[in-house]
Chains A and B, each alone.
Chain A
Amino acid sequence: MVSRQSKEESSRAFIANSIERDGMVTSVVGTFTSKLDEIDVAVSQIERGELAETIDRVVRTPAVGVPVDVDGGSLPDVVEVEPTVDDVRAARTGVTPATLGIAEYGSVVLEADPFGSEVASLFPELHVAVLRESDVVGEMREAFEWLGPRLREDRSSEIIATGPSATADMGGLVRGAHGPEAVHVILLADRVEETVERGSETEVADE
């Protein structure tokens, strides 16, 4: 396993940039996106600065959301970021940030915040989660190594969300029970330069 520390998130020392599977070293992001694909979650891998246009393309209107704090990115006007309760009721899309991705499960971690992320990610039929590539970890255990200190220090509430809400209680599997019927993950490239570095490191590790 090749592991190194992300420059921007030095506190997350545990982040593994690649995981070994069947003798092949795959990037965590690669594992994450193929897992999302497997569980029918749409994913857009975008560069910095493409956030607004991407969201414009994927939302079902009307859309609500909460401010997404990513470098150089902001939400397009189509997303109401200071919604009323009626806006939430009417919304078909909710856009929120995700604090962590878990590659082997295709999960995103959603943090409850004072802006109403918990409601915005749960009520509309489509949930769009915005996540930085550097926040994707490989395994569940790594996710809990981050969640442990986070929950102890901040006493925050976090949801490990995997795919849309679902139920089999009505005699067949149905997507979209109380929560969204579809999830779209927008993955922001924020370690492009590192990928190059990592590539050479991976080769070294392979030898």
Chain B
Amino acid sequence: MESEGDAVGENTRGFNQGRYDSVAKLEAYEELKSEARAIKEDAIERLPELLDELEETVEENGGTVYFADDAEDANRYIREVVAGKDAERLVKSKSMTSEEIEVNEALEADGVEVVETDLGEWVLQVADEAPSHIVAPAIHKSRAEIAALFNEVFDPEDELETAEELTKFARDRLGELIEGADVGMTGANFITADSGTIALVTSEGNARKSAVVPDTHIAVSGVEKVIPRVEDLSPFVELIGRSGTGQDITSYISLLTPPGASPVPNFEDGDSALAGDHEGIGAGANPDREFHLVLIDNGRLAMRQDAELKETLYCIRCSACSNSCANFQSVGGHVFGGETYSGGIATGWEAGIEGLDVAGGFNDLCTSCSRCVNACPVKIDIPWINTVVRDRINRQADGNADWLVEGLVPDEEPGGMDVQKRLFGNFETFAGLGCALAPVSNWMADLSVSRRLMERVFGVDRRRELPSFQRTTLKKWYDERGPKVSAPRRQVVLYPDLYTNTMQVDRGKAAVRALEAMGIQVVIPDVRSTGRAPLSQGMIATAREHAEDVYSGLALHLDSDRDVVVIEPSDLAMFKSEYEKLLPERSFRRLAEHSYDVMEYLLELAEEDGGPGFEALCSPDDGRSGEVAYHPNCQQKTIRKAEFTVALLEELGYDVVTSDVECCGMAGSFGYKTEYYELSMDVGESLKGQFTAPETRERTVVDSGTSCHKQLESLLPRESRHAVELVAPESR
């Protein structure tokens, strides 16, 4: 896959770390997110009414509102306004919506000079490239590349080199162009219906100049940007800079209520007074000013009626989902993006505005690692939107290799869907066969002829070591062994997740021993896999069938007051979050409330009265390595369970260093796919770096998720184990 070098990775990781630091200082962070979410939910719900109010308000202010059905309609109106002013030059501040409608091209076709005044946008205009990030459009360009570009195109007297020199050069040049401009165009981050105020979140000052210098201001905005009241801006102002670039607040939050009272400076006549003839103008709108608000539908009103895509309209374009995405950090927005938008939320935008085909071009880059979920300031379930769109793409697919898997797999999906997705989505079936036929199945799978076939037909990359199925599954082992605890405190269900049950049986046995050491009698019921595998391929109907079976299989145990302990964090995350979309509300709540991460549960047991404490588990005193390098699973971090492992290990006396990468890069089946193998390994480089540094390279590697385990095995020469294997006593 193509990617854009180190600049994207370095800059997005910087923004992402800035976000963590900045929101940590915000005491009411979670409350502000809830408030922001509620405002957007209400605004989209009442959108038609708010748009009516806004139109009235803007007209009262002395401006004009135009509702455009689509890009062409918007551009036609804008061209008419510009032609009506006999305008030769239009200056623009950064606006993704104006990129969406491609207004620059439309105006340039009429012979109008269009100048992007945001420095990043201007770099791209000079380079004739598209933005690769919704907030920092030229994030993929290094300082050296920009300097080389400017030196070549403008041939300045003194070669430009430093960021200061480049900025000053751009400022001077753009300053002259702004002074002579006839029309200024801005976007809008928010528009308040009660006052007709356009809120712009910027740092350079170019939006202010573009709005105040020319006598005509055109603001282009999607209809979804309207919110009811000025006061509603407050939580967004506190969240947007922090969420995006990690700034507590940007230099300028412009609350422009055009046309506005500012005089129009006449830069063509240097002797003219700045204030012009302000006698009699007062505080109201300056009659010399003209304002047009172009509100664009372009698919948004249909998205509002689409139960699954509707949430996309809450997006405030902060870029947190891009910056927190390990894949985005590696490839950037030219790869992880569509016609206009990039990053996780782009799938929603592009599906709604352009259609499924455009969204399908990059949708698979979302691995549902879920790191964007807590980062989003309006709490959009971005992985779910990606899953829904993937499901829709699957259902409209017209494949030609049905015969290979049709009939062999028990899924609920239509014939014709992508055969690779179908293979990974039905992993449970193959794992069952794999165990039954082990070790022959493992030898067979490892044969080079099999690997070549699997790569050609299913796109399973030959360079990946395949999981090795165990002939004796965890459940079979436990059924034969039986419980070994006398006078148990209580019974709990140890959920036999697919990976522990068929492949990483040792971590399952360790969990049994650890729970028994704490006086717990373990029950391992015959319950199928959670449906994580089909869900990650967009096979929602199949995943729902799994969820229903799992709940049926566990209901009796829940009714018997047995908690459900889960080893695989990606499956615990299914119970705790995705099942909300797959099960009836009551079933979801019941299972979610009684499900625990195995390390969390052990910690709680140890702290509880009436049974063995920490001494029953293994500490470094028991001859185990006390220095640990721990990599928590991405979904485990999102559901905030990773810290329990750290707490339990530290309580037992281990010294823990935790990785701070968002995702290991494997992300379930993602890293096995031929087309993503290299990206997966590239993402893994950060983790490798952290665990091979001088201060960590001797440490015992500890993991929690199956796919992270496989990735760590391929990144590092030393072994990695689940944390429960570290703390579980030897065989009892």
A interface list, Cβ under 8 A from B: 64, 66, 82-89, 105, 107, 112-120, 122, 140-141, 143-145, 147-148, 151-152, 154-174, 176-180
Scan B377-393; emit 1 where CB is below 8 A from any A CB, else 0: 00000000000000000
Q: Are B209 and A178 in contact (CB under 8 A)?
A: yes
Known: A85-B267, A157-B256, A172-B163. A151 touches B262 (CB 8 A): no
B-chain residues with CB within 8 Å of residue A155 when the two chains form the complex: 60-61, 195-196, 257, 284-285
Known: A114-B282, A167-B167. A148 touches B257 (CB 8 A): no
Q: Are A113 and B271 in contact (CB under 8 A)?
A: no
Instruction: List residues of B (163-182) whose CB comes within 8 Å of A's CBs.
Output: 163-164, 166-167, 170-171, 174-175
Given the complex of chains A and B, what is the CA–CA distance between A171 and B166 in angstroms?
9
A-chain residues with CB within 8 Å of residue B106 when the two chains form the complex: none
Scan B247-267; emit 1 where CB is below 8 A from any A CB, else 0: 011111111111011110111
Would you mind naming 11 contact pairs between A and B with Cβ atoms under 8 Å apart? A112-B260, A114-B263, A140-B237, A145-B231, A165-B251, A166-B251, A167-B203, A169-B118, A172-B143, A177-B206, A178-B205
Since A82-B274, A167-B120 are in contact, a sample of 8 more A-B pairs with Cβ atoms closer than 8 Å, ordered by chain A residue number, is A116-B275, A119-B274, A151-B197, A152-B195, A157-B261, A162-B249, A170-B163, A171-B144
Given the complex of chains A and B, what is the CA–CA distance between A51 and B248 in angstroms?
31
From A88, A145, A147, contact of B265 by CB (8 A): A88
B-chain residues with CB within 8 Å of residue A82 when the two chains form the complex: 273-275
Q: Are B204 and A177 in contact (CB under 8 A)?
A: yes
A120 to chain B: closest CB distance in Å? Answer: 7
Given the complex of chains A and B, what is the CA–CA distance between A86 and B179 in angstroms?
12
Q: Are A177 and B262 in contact (CB under 8 A)?
A: no
B-chain residues with CB within 8 Å of residue A151 when the two chains form the complex: 192, 194-195, 197, 230, 255, 257
Answer whether residue B234 sits at the interface, using C-beta atoms and an 8 A cutoff: yes
Given the complex of chains A and B, what is the CA–CA distance between A171 and B258 in angstroms?
34
Q: Are B249 and A105 in contact (CB under 8 A)?
A: yes
B-chain residues with CB within 8 Å of residue A177 when the two chains form the complex: 119, 167, 171, 203-206
B-chain residues with CB within 8 Å of residue A120 when the two chains form the complex: 274
Known: A88-B265, A177-B119, A177-B167. A115 touches B143 (CB 8 A): no
Answer whether residue B117 sits at the interface, using C-beta atoms and an 8 A cutoff: yes
Given the complex of chains A and B, what is the CA–CA distance between A160 and B248 in angstroms?
13
Q: Are A161 and B251 in contact (CB under 8 A)?
A: yes
Given the complex of chains A and B, what is the CA–CA distance between A138 and B164 in angstroms?
34
A83 to chain B: closest CB distance in Å? Answer: 5
Interface bin, chain B = 35 or more
Write the chain B residue with the least CB distance to A66.
Answer: B275
Q: Are A179 and B208 in contact (CB under 8 A)?
A: yes
Write the chain A residue with the least CB distance to B204.
Answer: A177
Q: Are B195 and A169 in contact (CB under 8 A)?
A: no
Answer whether residue B138 sits at the interface, using C-beta atoms and an 8 A cutoff: yes
Known: A85-B269, A105-B248, A169-B119. A147 touches B230 (CB 8 A): yes
Write the chain A residue with the least CB distance to B238.
Answer: A140
B-chain residues with CB within 8 Å of residue A171 when the two chains form the complex: 141-144, 146-147, 163, 166
Q: Are A159 and B270 in contact (CB under 8 A)?
A: no
Given the complex of chains A and B, what is the CA–CA distance between A115 and B249 in angstroms?
28
Interface centre among A66, A116, A170 (most CB of B within 10 A): A170
Write the chain A residue with the least CB distance to B122.
Answer: A169
B-chain residues with CB within 8 Å of residue A172 when the two chains form the complex: 143, 162-164
Answer whether residue B409 sits at the interface, using C-beta atoms and an 8 A cutoff: no
Q: Are B143 and A83 in contact (CB under 8 A)?
A: no
Write the chain A residue with the least CB distance to B170.
Answer: A170
Interface centre among A115, A155, A161, A174 (most CB of B within 10 A): A155
Given the complex of chains A and B, what is the CA–CA distance between A118 and B267 in angstroms?
15
A-chain residues with CB within 8 Å of residue B253 when the two chains form the complex: 159-160
Q: Are B274 and A170 in contact (CB under 8 A)?
A: no
Given the complex of chains A and B, what is the CA–CA distance between A174 and B251 in angstroms?
12
B667 to chain A: closest CB distance in Å? Answer: 30
Scan B147-168; emit 1 where CB is below 8 A from any A CB, else 0: 1000000000000001110110
Answer whether residue B136 sits at the interface, using C-beta atoms and an 8 A cutoff: yes
Known: A159-B208, A169-B119. A86 touches B249 (CB 8 A): no
A-chain residues with CB within 8 Å of residue B147 when the two chains form the complex: 171
